[in-house]
Structure 1
Amino acid sequence: MDVSQIAALATSLNDMQTRNEASTLVFKKTLDNQSSAALGLIESIPQLPANPAICRNINNTTA
C-alpha cells in the first residue's frame, strides 16, 4: 500500500465515524422527542371518576 492510500483510508474511516456519531445523536434526540410526545398524550387522558361504575352502566329497562 502506498502512504497516500493509507492516509486516504484513515481519513475516510474518520469521516465515517464522525457521520455515525452524528446519526446516533440525531436518533437519540428523535427518541427523546417521541418519548416526550407519548408522555404528553398519556398525561392528557382524563382521570376516571372516583367510582368507576358511574357513567359506565346503561339501564335499558322500560318502566
Structure 2
Amino acid sequence: MADVSAIAATATSMSQTQLQAELQTSVTRKAMDVHESTALQLIDNIDAVGNAPSNPGDRVGEMLDTRA
C-alpha cells in the first residue's frame, strides 16, 4: 500500500512541476512580447529624431533664453 501512495505522490509532484514549468514559460513569453513591442516602438521613434544633428554640441544654447 505504501508503494501505491508513493507512486501517486510522485505523479502528483511531477504534474505540479510540469504545470509550474509551463506557467513560467508562458510568463517569459509574455515578457518577451512586451519587450519586443517596446523595442519596435523605440525603433519607430528613431525616424522622428533622425533629423537631429550627429553632434549634440551643435545644438548647445538653442533652447535657452540667455537674455538678462
> For the superposition of Structure 1 and Structure 2, which TM-score range results when normalised by the shorter chain?
0.7 to 0.9
Q: What CA RMSD, in Å, does the superposition of the two structures yield over aligned residues?
A: 2.2
2:2 equivalent to 1:5: yes
2:30 equivalent to 1:26: no
Q: Which runs of 4+ in 1 moved over 6 A?
A: none
Q: 1:8 to 1:52 in 2, by over 3 A?
A: same
Q: Give unpaired runs (5+ residues) of structure 1.
A: none
Question: Which residue of structure 2 lines up, in the alignment, with residue 58 of structure 1?
Answer: 59
Distance of 2:3 and 2:60 partners within structure 1: 82
What is the Cα deviation at residue 60 of structure 1? 3.0
What is the Cα deviation at residue 40 of structure 1? 0.4
Query: Quick check: which one's helix share is greater?
Result: 2
Normalising by structure 1, what TM-score? 0.76
Distance of 1:44 and 1:60 partners within structure 2: 29
Normalising by structure 2, what TM-score? 0.71
Q: 1:58 to 1:18 in 2, by over 3 A?
A: same
Distance of 2:18 and 2:60 partners within structure 1: 61
2:32 equivalent to 1:35: yes
Q: State the identity as a percent.
A: 4
Code of the aligned partner of 1:34: A
